[in-house]
Structures are given as C-alpha cells and as structure tokens.
Chains A and B, each alone.
Chain A
C-alpha cells in the first residue's frame, strides 16, 4: 500500500523536466519576441549590460510590480515543479523507510535504453538510502533556492530562460543521483555540467561571465574524460554498468583473481579524476571561484549545495571498489585534506564576499573527500547534507546582501549591515556558527565525525587529522572575518548605495529562515553515540556502506570514547581560537590586519593572488596548448594539409599551362596532326 508510491519514482526527475518544457515554450514564444522587440526599439532598460555587476538593482520595484502574466506563470511553474518533486521524493523515501533495513533497495526500470551485443543499459532509477539522501537535498534545497530566485531575479529580462536552466539543472542532477547505472550517472553528470556552464554564463554579455563559463566547462571536461574511461574499464571488468550487478560481482571477481587490486586502483583513480573535476579539488578546483560570475542563487544551488557534491556522491556510491584499492583511498584522503587546507588559506585574504564563500566551498568539499578517503563514507555524505544547508544559506544570505547593496560584492565597501538587514544577518550568523563547528549546530556533528574518523579509522592518519583541524580553525577565522566585515563596524558603503539599503522581500527571506532552521537542526539526525545521541543517519546509510563500516571498525580498536571527546573539545577549541582571532583583528584592533599584510608583503600577495595557480596553469598548460594549436594550425593544417591539396591543384595547373601550347588555333597544324594520326594508324594496321 505505502510501497505503491515507489512506482511513481519516475515523477521525481520528470516533474522538473516538465518545468523545462513549459518554461521553454514560454521563453520561445512569449519572452524572446518581447525582448527582441524591445531591442529593436532601443528601449533603455535595467538590463544586465547596463549594470555590469552580477546582482539585480533596485528596491523591489520595477519589473516585479508591472510583471506581465507570463512572468507570473514562470515564477509559479519554476519553483512549483521542484516543490512537487520534493513531495514525491519525500513520500518515496518514507515508503522506503517503511521497508526492513536489508530490503531498502528499489529499482524502477523505465525502458531498455542501449542494447548492443553484451552491453545493456536500461533507463532505470534506483532508490536506496544513499540516493534518497541526495534526492531530498537536491529537491528540498533546490526548491528553496527556486523560490528565492523568484525574488532575486525579478528584475531580470530573461526571466524564463533562467528558470529553464534551473529546472533543467534539477532534472539532470536527479538523473545523476537516481540513475541505476554508471552510464545514466554520466548523462546526468554531463547534464549538470552543461547547466552549470549555461548559468555561469547567464549574463553572457559580460566577458568575464562568458569566460568563467567556458573555464568551468573545459576544466570539467578533463575530469569527465577520467570518469568515462573509468566507466569503460568497469564494463570491461564486470561486463555490466548496473550498480547492483557490479557491486554484486565484486566479491566473486575479487576471489577469482579477475578483479585485482591494480584494476580496482585504476578504476577508482580514474573515477576520482572525474570527482576532482566536478567537485573542484586540487588540481582542478580553479573553475569554482570563477563560477561566482553566475547569479548568486546559482552559486548556492549548483556551486555549493548540489552539483559540486556529485563527486562525493560518486565516490560514496562506488565505496565497495574504493575499499579494494588502499592506494586510491590514500590519494582521495590526501587530496581532500590538502584541498581543505589550501583553499581555506586563500579564503582568508579574499575581499569579494562570494569568492570567500567559493573557497570555503572548495575547502568543505575537501573535508568530504577526506572522509571518503579514510573510509568514513557516512560522515562524508552527512557533511555533504549539512554543508548543503548552511552553505546554501550563506550564499543566499550573501545574495541578499548584494541585492541590498545594489550589486556591491566587495566586503571593504560594506559594514554595519546588521541594523539594516536583520533577517539576513541572523540567518547568516547561524550558518557561520554552523560551518565553524560550534557544538549543537549541524556543521559541528558532521565535521567532527570526519575529524574523528580521519584520526581513528584504519585508513586514517594523525597527519590528516592535524590538517583537517587546522583547516577547521582557518574556516572559523575567515567566516567570522566575513561576518564582521559585512555586518559589524562602521559603514564603508558608498553614500549613493547606502540610501537604497533595504531588507529583501519575503520570497528571499523565507527560504533563508527555513535553511537556518535546517542548518541548526540538520545535524541532529547524526549525533554521535559518545555524546549520548543516536546516529540515525549512520544506521540509515549502513546498507549502502556495509563494507565501509567494516573498514572504520578495524581502526576502532585504538579508539576510545574519552579520546573522541577530547579530540572534539580540541577542534571546538581551535574553532573558538579562529573566531577569537577574527574578533580581535576585525573588531578590536582593525588596523592590525593591514600591518600584518605590510609586514609580510610577499606572503600576503602570494595568498591574495591565490598562490598564482591560475597564472601557473596559464603558463604551464593553457599557453602550451594554445601554442601547440597555433603550430598545428600554421604548420600542420595550413602548410602541410593545405600544401598537399594546393600542390595537386598547382601541378595540374602547371601541366595545363605547358600543354595548352599545343592548341595553336592554326587550322594547318590541326590538319597536320590529323594527317599524322592517320599515317600512324595506317602504319600500325599495316605492320602489326
């Protein structure tokens, strides 16, 4: 009876797709003709080209008041389909939860998709504890961000286009997490990449936005290549790409020696290359900070809460393979820890509010990979979920700030906004507490579980724990720096901007409040046993990570409750130190940061310029490829290939040039050659 709802699982991705179709029709037949007509009349408007910044202006007036009917329809359809999808997801997950723990796997085959020889891939959706967490995050947080977008984007001309992309993204992301095989995951993987590109470049008239979109797409392509090769390798090894079949075959193939550690390492490392690209880890993280050129709700949805966590989901999904390859686990853990620390340090010096959050996202994704790398997949997914809540909230909050300041993103030109934006301030402050790991909030539980596992797990290491803890302290520092610079102190706003400061409309503040509730309470489903709680989250995911739990238990031998509490206290202490330092530097002695920067100009410039990684990549890779392409173009294509073609033409032309002399035009010569021909013919006939 309750189980029957699972048969409607296909509705979860289908509803956003319906939104895409409806919005596309509106965009093509209503919005586009209107925009083109406006352009023809040269009507001055508040378009993005005149603004030059990535946030809407004005104070809730303008387009939203005199909104044409079609905009109201888009504003309804866009969020409504995702909301409906969330309701279906919730019901489906509840139906799944009603089953006994060992039976929580539901595969719905829609139709056979690709069939060639022994290769078979159906279009099928798989709902299990892992994908149910993902669909709830994607549709739940996604719905709130869609609602927020209605307010945030209300002054945009290309309103329907925005919601097409956003709905399409939701569809692709759901395909990614619900697909029952690697190929379907890859389709979703590419789909979200495309939507990310389209949304980063939403203000395509702005060169920086168009460039950032291209950069994201190209950098992701490097990772996608690794992913695709891994899928080939999986098919080659297992003869199938279905999750259930692949993971079911692992014990047998490992025992018979077909699946060696070498193959498992190759597959998992290649998969990780894909994850590194999509989830912005070292060395492919460079696209994510630039992706902040997109509208802020997009940064919240795609570049914080959902898409960038796809890599973590993928690693967690293939946990059984990773556990066979200790080398890959170590690589994942080290890359994750290194990224967490590295990007956290960059976050300290950035002045653009969204860029601080971008580096923070890269850093937090590093935590998730650190968790996966030490075998604590549950902790990784737990952090993925809590991070989706508080980071989406931080981005939406920063969007609200930017909205209030008519597009200003530089924190040096903010300050004292606490009084003007009470709701934004309160919700963002809660999220900051959560990300800093203050006990009781969601971020504390997930982050400490990761740190604890990185210390205690059989795959863990003290070094990883130290790096993770250091990154946690830096995170607390730069997040409170952001809060102090933005909401406290004296106003450093431009006088013109200050006049227009206003709290955002309800469509934006209500999602903020809901996310704030989730940021606080989201962690309560995974309170560790040592604190007297019950880790429902771990129990829920246990069927998916049966092997992972084993790995963690191995190391559990030298772990004790007292040590766990001690480490917990230690990391909270580090976080409080970070907060205290931020308080001292940005509230008490505000002149000190500048003095420090002046004292070590080399180091400061190094970090401010993001360790010159973009420049190094430019010299080491981009230029080389450009020069190589120029060589191919000039030497190979123009000189060699065109040379062959033109050479043949020149040869024929030269031959014609010479032989045309035979045509003298003098009739006598023709007569003579006629005679000659006749003589030769006769001679031939006579003497042969």
Chain B
C-alpha cells in the first residue's frame, strides 16, 4: 500500500512535458515523440494507482496503452513519410492547408 503521490507527480510532470512538446514544437517527429511521452506519463499513473489499490487492472491498461501507442507510432510515422514525400518538409507550420 505505497503512497502514489510521488508517481503521480512524476506522471503529471511527464504529461506536462509532452503537452508542451506537442503545442510548442514544429517538427512533426518531435510532436509524435511528445505524444509518446504523454501516453507513457499516463501509463505511470495507471500502474501507480493500480499498485496502490492492489488492482491489476491498472497494469493491464498500461499494456493496452502501449499497444495503442505502438500502432499509433506506426500509423503516425507512415503519415509523416507520406507528408514528407508530398511537401518535402515536416515543419508543421507549413502544413496549413486545413484552413478555410
């Protein structure tokens, strides 16, 4: 019955770093990596709380998230490569065709 507050704090800091990376950075590759950091920050929180409550569901969810993260990374990188072939850049500010 450990105290999860330190882990949760770590998780929060990691998540914050990830968010900052997504919002601030312009390189799509870095943004993808930041997303990974956010996912793993959530994993930390899951495991910590699961361990605190003595419930394995938290650990199971961590595996689940890792699986999703792997799939996401595969799809994300594939899109990244497709974008690079089209635009010859991965600077996200250049990719603004979504606007009206």
Binding site for B on A (CB under 8 A): 660, 663-668, 671-672, 675
Contacts and interface: CB of A to CB of B under 8 A. Distances in A.
Nearest to B24: A668
Nearest to B99: A665
A660 B98 CA distance: 12
B26 A663 contact: no
Contact of B19 (A660, A663, A665, A675): A675
B71 interface: no
Nearest to B34: A671
B90 to A, nearest CB: 12
Contacts of A668: 22-24, 26, 92-93
Contacts of B95: 665, 667
A660 B99 CA distance: 8
Contacts, number: 31
A675 B19 CA distance: 8
Given A668-B92, A668-B93, A663 B23 contact: no
A201 to B, nearest CB: 57
Chain B interface size, as a band, is 10 to 19
A663 B98 contact: yes
A663 B97 CA distance: 10
Contacts of B93: 666, 668
A424 B84 CA distance: 104
Nearest to A667: B92
Contacts of A666: 92-93, 96, 99
Given A663-B99, A667-B98, 10 more contacts: A663-B98, A664-B96, A665-B98, A665-B99, A666-B96, A666-B99, A667-B31, A667-B95, A668-B23, A675-B19
A665 B97 contact: yes
A666 B22 CA distance: 12
A664 B94 CA distance: 11
Given A671-B22, A672-B23, A664 B92 contact: no
Contacts of B22: 668, 671, 675
B43 to A, nearest CB: 18
A671 B96 contact: no
Nearest to B96: A665
A663 B19 CA distance: 21
10 contacts: A663-B99, A663-B100, A664-B96, A665-B96, A666-B93, A668-B93, A671-B22, A672-B23, A675-B22, A675-B23
5 residue pairs, one from A and one from B, having the closest CB atoms: A665-B99, A665-B96, A665-B98, A663-B99, A660-B100
A660 B100 CA distance: 7
B81 to A, nearest CB: 17
Interface SS, A side: helix
A667 B23 CA distance: 9
Contacts of A667: 31, 92, 95, 98
Nearest to B28: A667
A433 B96 CA distance: 100
A672 B24 CA distance: 9
B37 to A, nearest CB: 14
Interface string B11-48: 00000000100111010000100000000000000000
Nearest to B19: A675
A671 B23 contact: yes
Nearest to A670: B98
A664 B26 CA distance: 15
A620 B31 CA distance: 82
A637 to B, nearest CB: 35
Contacts of B26: 668
Contacts of A663: 98-100
B33 to A, nearest CB: 14
Nearest to A679: B19
A664 B98 CA distance: 8
Nearest to B95: A667
Contacts of B19: 675
B3 to A, nearest CB: 21
Contacts of A665: 95-99
B24 to A, nearest CB: 8
A663 B99 CA distance: 5
Contacts of A664: 96, 99
Contacts of B92: 666-668
Nearest to A659: B100
A664 B24 CA distance: 16
A668 B23 CA distance: 5
Interface string B58-100: 0000000000000000000000000000000000110111111
A664 B96 CA distance: 7
A667 B32 CA distance: 12
A675 B22 CA distance: 10
A665 B26 CA distance: 14
Contacts of B24: 668
B14 to A, nearest CB: 15
Contacts of B97: 665
Contacts of A672: 23
B20 to A, nearest CB: 10
B16 to A, nearest CB: 10
Nearest to B35: A671
Nearest to B23: A672
A669 to B, nearest CB: 9
Interface centre among A663, A668, A672 (most CB of B within 10 A): A668
A159 B93 CA distance: 81
B7 to A, nearest CB: 19
A3 to B, nearest CB: 88
Nearest to A672: B23
Contacts of B98: 663, 665, 667
A672 B26 CA distance: 13
A667 B95 CA distance: 8
A670 to B, nearest CB: 8
A497 to B, nearest CB: 78
Contacts of B99: 663-666
A666 B99 CA distance: 8
B92 to A, nearest CB: 5
Contacts of B23: 668, 671-672, 675
A26 to B, nearest CB: 65
A649 to B, nearest CB: 18
A508 B91 CA distance: 99
Nearest to A676: B23
Nearest to B92: A667
Interface centre among A660, A664, A667 (most CB of B within 10 A): A667
A186 B26 CA distance: 84
B87 to A, nearest CB: 13
A660 B97 CA distance: 14
A42 to B, nearest CB: 58
A479 to B, nearest CB: 84
Nearest to B25: A668
Interface centre among A660, A663, A665, A675 (most CB of B within 10 A): A665
B75 to A, nearest CB: 16
Contacts of A675: 19, 22-23
Contacts of B96: 664-666
A668 to B, nearest CB: 6
A665 B22 CA distance: 15
A12 B96 CA distance: 85
